């Protein structure tokens, strides 16, 4: 069992001159066996939250419960939690075998033979059996990370905390380790909180994502919920790569008016927008913009500034009025720099946000959006 409940967690760092609220009234329930990702920009409070859960940082207020019992004031060694860091934190003078077994030696009553056997089992699981007698300095970054993971796994904790564990690895190894970690987490079924600033890791690895900004929780949901139904403009812009395009528009008489285009809305959307006359933010994802062959009523003239062919897809950077935005095209569709595309914003894929608060007024629907996308690819 590893059910973790975070209640009204607040962490403030203060000295005589200033006070920083690193975590602000955070409430999250993490289910037993769940893989939860904390994601957000630098300084949003991800690592501090993780360190509070581990007991490496005291909390200013609030409580943390593990399986219903408060662990808020327990020392780290008494929490049944193992942490894996970005910098591996291996003891340089010890072999991989000793590094993996060290925690068991210090914190359990297990005999030498039992520890040796357990270390061998975990090393086999991690594919590092032949590296056990090497010291960290003789191992590659990926191998050191496997040893660090092995050291956490061998303890069979209730909860794993991982702070950007893959960020020191090269891009290819990161991708491999990402899937390995997912498989491992599923096989072990241990509740895991994984901190990253990489939204690809956030989208692909976890059951749910907690998106933080300025110490506050912006959204807690499945990757697809956060992608299709963002709570606000911040989440909409943070999740998804390349980012969603945003336009400052004026909503008047059922029409969205921008310097570069006007878009008349359906009766259904007008009803959703009742009471919102005035400035709004329109959001549309790069892959949701559609190209039409000829200029047609309502289509948007966009001049092509830069193209980035990635192979299967091409990112096209276009200017609409004086606004630069991104369009994702099928890699086989070739467009030339300097030409003009006629774009359409499909209303069902459009997001609208309150211009002042950034709160979502209209978003896509995750269930219909998924069906549309699957059919489109078939
Ligand atoms: P990154 O991705 O850059 O590691 P993060 O989201 O993990 O960022 P935190 O490290 O949790 O962010 O930091 C949150 C805020 O708290 C930041 O403003 C940071 O400067 C501040 N902070 C963190 N640790 C301390 C400390 N020990 N003393 C003072 N301020 C701190």
* Helix spans in the chain (H): 46-54, 96-107, 112-126, 141-153, 171-188, 199-205, 223-228, 233-238, 267-272, 366-377
Q: Which of 166, 167, 163, 198 is nearest to 180 (CA)?
A: 166
- 15, 18, 40, 45, best to mutate for ligand 1 pocket (most atoms within 8 Å of CB): 45
Length, in residues, of the chain? 378
Ligand 1 midpoint to CA 56 (Å):
13
Residue with CA closest to ligand 1 atom 28: 13
CB-based contacts of 108, cutoff 8 Å, min separation 6: 115
Q: How far is the CA of 22 from the centre of ligand 1 (A)?
A: 6
Q: Which atom of ligand 1 is nearest to the CA of 195?
A: 7
Answer yes or no: is the C-beta of 214 below 6 A from any ligand 1 atom: no
Residue 229 CA: distances (Å) to CA of 173, 225, 269, 352, 365: 31, 5, 16, 11, 6
Structure tokens at 51: 């360190």
Q: Is 13 in the pocket of ligand 1 (CB under 6 A)?
A: yes
User: Angle 96-107/112-126 helices, nearest 10 degrees?
Assistant: 130
Which ligand 1 atom sits closest to the C-alpha of 47?
Answer: 7
Q: Is 198 in the pocket of ligand 1 (CB under 6 A)?
A: no
Which residue's CA is the nearest one to ligand 1's atom 15? 22
Asked if 264 and 258 count as a contact pair (C-beta separation under 8 A), the reply is: no
Domains of the chain by range and CATH?
A: 4-233 (3.40.50.300), 243-370 (2.40.50.140)
Q: Whose CA is nearest to atom 26 of ligand 1?
A: 13
Sorted by sequence, the CB contacts under 8 Å of residue 73 that are 6+ apart come out as none
Q: What is the pLDDT along the chain (378 residues), one digit of tens a residue?
A: 799 999 999 999 988 888 999 999 999 999 999 999 999 999 999 999 999 999 999 999 999 999 999 999 999 988 989 888 777 788 999 999 999 998 787 777 788 888 899 899 888 888 889 999 999 999 988 888 889 888 888 888 899 999 988 887 788 888 888 888 888 888 889 999 999 988 889 999 999 999 999 999 999 999 999 999 999 999 999 999 999 999 999 999 999 999 888 999 999 999 999 989 999 999 999 999 999 887 777 789 999 999 999 999 999 999 998 889 999 999 988 899 999 999 999 999 999 999 999 999 999 887 765 555 555 544
Please give the model's pTM, rounded to 2 decimal places. Answer: 0.89
């Amino acid at each position: 069992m590893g059910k973790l409940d975070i209640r009204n967690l607040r962490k403030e760092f203060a000295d005589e001159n200033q006070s920083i609220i690193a975590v602000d009234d955070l409430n999250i329930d993490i289910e037993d066996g769940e893989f939860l990702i904390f994601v957000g920009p630098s300084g949003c409070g991800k690592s501090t939250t993780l360190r509070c859960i581990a007991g490496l940082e005291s909390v200013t207020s609030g409580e943390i419960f593990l399986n219903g019992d408060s662990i808020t004031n327990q020392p780290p060694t008494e929490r049944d939690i193992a942490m894996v860091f970005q910098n591996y934190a291996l003891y340089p003078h010890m072999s991989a075998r000793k590094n993996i077994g060290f925690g068991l030696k210090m914190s359990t009553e297990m005999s030498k033979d039992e520890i040796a056997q357990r270390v061998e089992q975990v090393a086999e699981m991690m594919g590092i059996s032949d590296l056990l007698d090497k010291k960290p300095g003789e191992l590659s970054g990926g191998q050191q990370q496997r040893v660090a993971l092995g050291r956490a796994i061998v303890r069979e904790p209730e909860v794993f905390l991982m702070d950007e564990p893959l960020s020191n690895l090269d891009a290819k190894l990161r991708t491999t380790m990402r899937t390995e970690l997912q498989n491992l987490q599923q096989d072990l079924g241990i509740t895991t909180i994984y901190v990253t600033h990489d939204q690809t890791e956030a989208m692909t690895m976890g059951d749910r994502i907690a998106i933080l900004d300025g110490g506050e929780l912006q959204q807690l949901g499945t990757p697809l919920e956060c992608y299709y139904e963002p709570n606000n403009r911040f989440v909409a812009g943070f999740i998804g790569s390349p980012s969603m395009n945003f336009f400052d528009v004026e909503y008047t008489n059922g029409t969205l008016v921008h310097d570069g285009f006007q878009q008349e809305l359906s009766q259904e959307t007008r009803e959703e927008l009742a009471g919102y006359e005035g400035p709004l933010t329109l959001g549309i994802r790069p892959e949701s913009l559609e190209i039409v062959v000829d200029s047609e009523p309502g289509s948007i003239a966009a001049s092509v500034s830069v193209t980035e062919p990635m192979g299967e897809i091409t990112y096209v950077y276009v200017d609409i009025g004086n606004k630069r935005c991104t369009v994702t095209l099928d890699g086989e569709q070739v467009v030339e720099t300097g030409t003009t595309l006629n774009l359409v914003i499909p209303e069902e894929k459009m997001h609208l946000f309150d211009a002042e608060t950034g709160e979502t007024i209209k978003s896509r629907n995750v269930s219909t959006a998924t069906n549309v996308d699957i059919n489109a690819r078939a």
